Amino acid sequence: MKKLGILLKGIIKENPVLVLLLGTCPALATTTGVISALAMGIAATAVLFCSNIVISALRKAIPDKVRIPCYIVVIAGFVSVVQMLMQAYFPDLYDMLGVYLALIVVNCIILGRAEMFARKNGIIDSALDGIGMGIGFTLALVAMGSIREVIGAGTWAGIELTALKPYAISIVTAAPGGFLVFGCLIALVNKLTSGKASKKEFACEGCPNAASCNKAECETDAKEETK
C-alpha cells in the first residue's frame, strides 16, 4: 500500500508541475501541441525512472561532497541516450522537441527527485517514485497541451476539430497563452486538493540545494513564511 502511495503521489498530490512548480520551462515550451507534450513527458519519465534507479543504487557509494556532479553526469548520460534513440527512431519527434530534449539534463524535477527521494530510498521505491512523478509530469503536460492546442489551433494531436477551428484563439498557443493555461491548471489543482498539497515539499526538503546551504536559517525562514 505504501508503494502504491509512492507511485500515485506524483499524479495529483505532489504533481511536479502543478503542485511543486518544477519543470516550468519545458512545460510552457513544449505544450503548444499534444504530441510534443506527450513526447517530452515520456522522454522525461524515461530519464527520471532510470536516473532514480541508478542514483538510489549508488547512494551509499557516492560521497556527499560530489553527489550533485555525480547526479548530473548520470542524468546527462541518460538524457543523451534518450536523445540518440529518439533521433534514430523518432526523428520527427526529435525535431519537434528541439533544444528542450537536451535541456532535460537541467530539469528541476529530475535533479529534485534524485536529491529529495532517490538518495534516501531503496531502488524499488525510487523506481516507483520516478514512474509516478514522470506520469504526473506527462499528464500535466498533456493536459496543458490539449487545452492550448484545442483552443489555440482548433486541433487535437493534429486532428482537426471542424467545429472549433474557425474560433481558434492563436494567442493560447503562444507564450502568454502558455502562462494563462498554466495558472488556470495550478488553480484547478489547488481547488481539487483544497490547497492541501504537501507543504513540506516547498520548504527545505523540496530544495535540491538544501544540503549545501545554511539549512537551519532556511528552515526558519520557511516556517515564518508558513505562519
Partner 1 sequence: MKENIKSVVVLTAICLVVAVLLAYTNSVTAPIIEANKAAAASGSLLEVMPEAAGFENITETLANLPATVKEVHKETSGLGHVMILGTTTQFSSDEMGITVAIGADGKISNVLLTGYYESKDFGADYPSTYIGQDSALGGVDTVAGTTFSSTAFKDAITDAFNVLIENNLVAAGQKSEEQLIAEVMPLALPSSADSLGNCQVTAVEGVAAPITQAFKANNGTGYIYVITGTNGTVVAGVNAFGVVKVLDLEGNDVTAAEADAAAAAQSAAPVLATENLENNTAAAQATVAEGAVLTPVEGLNVTGTAIAAFVADVAGETQYVVITAPLGYSNETMKMITVFDAEGNVIFYKTLTELILHGEYYATHELTDESAYRQMFIGVNAGTYSDDMTLVAGATMTANAVASSFNSAFEALDLIKEVVA
Residue (13 or 59) nearer to partner 1, CB: 59
Alpha carbons 199 and 205: distance in angstroms, whole number: 10
Rounded least distance, CB 162 to partner 1, Å: 28
The answer for residues whose C-beta is within 8 angstroms of residue 122's C-beta and 6 or more apart is 56
All three cell numbers of 65: 561532497
Given a contact cutoff of 8 angstroms between Cβ atoms, the answer to whether 185 and 1 are in contact is no
Rounded least distance, CB 18 to partner 1, Å: 32
For 62, other C-beta atoms within 10 Å of its C-beta total 17
Phi, psi at residue 155, to the nearest 5°?
Answer: -135, 165
Phi, psi at residue 159, to the nearest 5°?
Answer: -85, 125
Rounded least distance, CB 66 to partner 1, Å: 4
Residue (1 or 88) nearer to partner 1, CB: 88
Residue (81 or 171) nearer to partner 1, CB: 81
Alpha carbons 164 and 150: distance in angstroms, whole number: 8
Could you list the residues that contact partner 1 (CB under 8 A)? Answer: 58, 61-63, 65-66, 69-70, 73-74, 76-77, 80-81, 84-85, 87-89, 91
Rounded least distance, CB 118 to partner 1, Å: 14
Residue (73 or 187) nearer to partner 1, CB: 73
Residue (88 or 163) nearer to partner 1, CB: 88
Rounded least distance, CB 64 to partner 1, Å: 9
Alpha carbons 67 and 29: distance in angstroms, whole number: 29
